Amino acid sequence: MSASESPSSTATLLVACDDCPGLVAALAQALYNQGANIFHAEQHTDSVAGRFFQRIHFEDPELEGPDREAAESRLLATVRAVGARYGMKWQLRFEERPMRMAIFVSKTDHCLYDLLLRHRSGELLCEIPLIVSNHESLRPVAEQFGVPFQVFPIDSKNKAEVEARELEVLAENEVDLVVMARYMQILTENFIGQFKERIINIHHSFLPAFAGGRPYHQAFDRGVKLIGATAHYATGDLDEGPIIEQDVIHVSHRESVADLVRLGKDVERTVLSRAVRLHLESRIFVHNNRTVVFTG
């Protein structure tokens, strides 16, 4: 965000619809009529699917006026009208209200530390109301950063009951996004359904290679020369959700499994933090288990 932009007056609009002439003009005109000033707009047309996607970052001075609620209502009505005209799927986020992100962890701490440090430094613009775990191991980390930490021991017998309690806690804390920072549990479809396209998981391989458990061991057994990490939205199909971000590093026959794990941690944390930032900045649209990611 530039010095001329203020979170109290800025918003981001994501739209997707069937492609047709005049979409860019229609959206720009609608915002102009509202009195908005567009800072940045980026669009993509999927010629195979015939779908149009656009992200618009803009300022509406009326949001800083004496009646913000009325200004938001007028803006929503404007977007709703143009969206209905073209059958758009749209999301409008007001930057004055940052997203609230819950972090789910187990015993591994590198991704948790990275997210908390980036949040503390202002790199991740969100609120973190709680950390959820199935073990006590990382409570000291949460206490170090002053974030509430709740433990829900879970096994195959109590999974449904525990997830119901976790969903209650997430609702009580008005959580918008769940980040699985090496949370070593498989969420049920019921849980995922409550946060569709709002659960980001980090998998420690370059998907679709080595899905499931022990990917570094699988990579070592195959003698691969690249290892990587993948951040994706969680779905009911394990490690097959829409991919948000990926990266790799080179390795050789000299590396042991322990070496691969050590090297891979660096990739995991950077890939996860990038994906989280993209989501927080409303830069991602999901279509047919693929993502359109606006990075400009």
The dihedrals phi and psi of 210, each to the nearest 5 degrees, come to 55, 55
> Residue 99 to residues 18, 96, 215: CA-CA distances in angstroms?
29, 10, 32
Q: CB within 8 A of 285, min separation 6: which ones?
A: 14, 16, 53, 291, 292
> Residue 238 to residues 176, 182, 185, 194, 233: CA-CA distances in angstroms?
22, 14, 11, 17, 10
Is residue 5 within 8 Å of 96, Cβ to Cβ? no
Is residue 62 within 8 Å of 84, Cβ to Cβ? no
Q: Can 259 be counted among the known catalytic residues?
A: no
> Which residue among 19, 239, 259, 266 is the active-site one?
239
What distance lies between CA 40 and its chain's CA centroid? 21
Sheet architecture: strand order including 243-250? 149-151, 127-133, 100-105, 177-180, 199-203, 226-233, 243-250
Is residue 26 within 8 Å of 86, Cβ to Cβ? yes
**Half-sphere exposure (CA, 13 Å, Cβ side) for 296?**
11
Residues serving a catalytic function are 239
